[in-house]
Structure 1
Amino acid sequence: MEFFNSKYIKPFKNIYAIVIVVFVVWMLFFDAHSWLFHHELNTDIEELEYQKEHYKNEMAKDNKAIKELSTDEGIERTARENYYMKKANEDIYIIEYEDSIVKQKEDE
């Protein structure tokens, strides 16, 4: 009988305390609007906001590239720098320094 008279068990003899504890547990874990569900939703929202910022930055880069490629000089510069294209009567020499080779290997 000493167990039932313990100071830790006394609050649970009160029906109101039991109802409140059950209600809190139900709302935190089992309800459709539970804390766990809201936590998952908040995590998803943060991830989607990060993706939104990333895609905005990508769109800005793409718009800059489109603007650059809208002129003949921009097309020629892009072709020469990125694709190593040349005119028929030109020779192109690509000079690589040791620093850039080491950095390129690190990036791979």
Structure 2
Amino acid sequence: MLNRLLHYLRNFYVATGLGLLVWMTFFDANDLPMQIRNWWKLREQEAEATFYQTQIQQVQTERREVLGNDQLREKFAREKYLMKKPTEDIFVIVDEKNGPIE
């Protein structure tokens, strides 16, 4: 009798545990596929954050170079933004892929 009761309780706990595992894996709001999607999204956003940090450092370096010297400021504006004086003509030479040659 006691053996039968223990067997029933053990089966009850195993079935309850399996049911809970299935529920948490597939039916819960934070199910396994959602966790995987969130993990991939986190990795992508960390990569973007790294990219933007390097871009910020480059812009800060350019800013320090440009703000310190008038000649560098003019050179930077001419090369980066293709600015010109009113009496000048600018010719941009491009390669086969229609990209500017630097």
Q: TM-score, normalised on structure 2? A: 0.62
- Pair 1:49 & 2:68 matched: no
CA displacement at 1:68 relative to structure 2: 2.2
Change (3 A) 1:35 1:93: closer
Change (3 A) 1:47 1:93: closer
Q: What letter matches 1:78 in structure 2?
A: F
Partner of 1:80 in structure 2?
A: 78
Corresponding residue SS for 2:84: coil
* Amino acid in the other structure paired with 1:80: R
Aligned counterpart, 1:102: 96
Q: What amino acid is the match of 1:85?
A: K
Q: How does 1:29-40 map to 2 (within 5 A)?
A: 29-40=26-37
| Unaligned stretches of 5+ residues in structure 2 | 1-10
Structure 1 residue identity aligned to 2:24: M
Does the CA contact (< 8 Å) of 1:29 and 1:35 recur in 2?
Answer: yes
Gaps of 5+ in 1: 1-13
Q: Count matched residues.
A: 87
1:80–1:86: 8 Å Cα contact kept in structure 2?
no
Decide whether the 8 Å contact of 1:28 with 1:34 is kept in 2. yes
Contact 1:27 1:34 in 2 (8 A): yes
Amino-acid identity (%): 23
CA RMSD of aligned residues (A): 2.8
Q: Deviations over 1:2-21 (max 9, x none)?
A: xxxxxxxxxxxx55553343
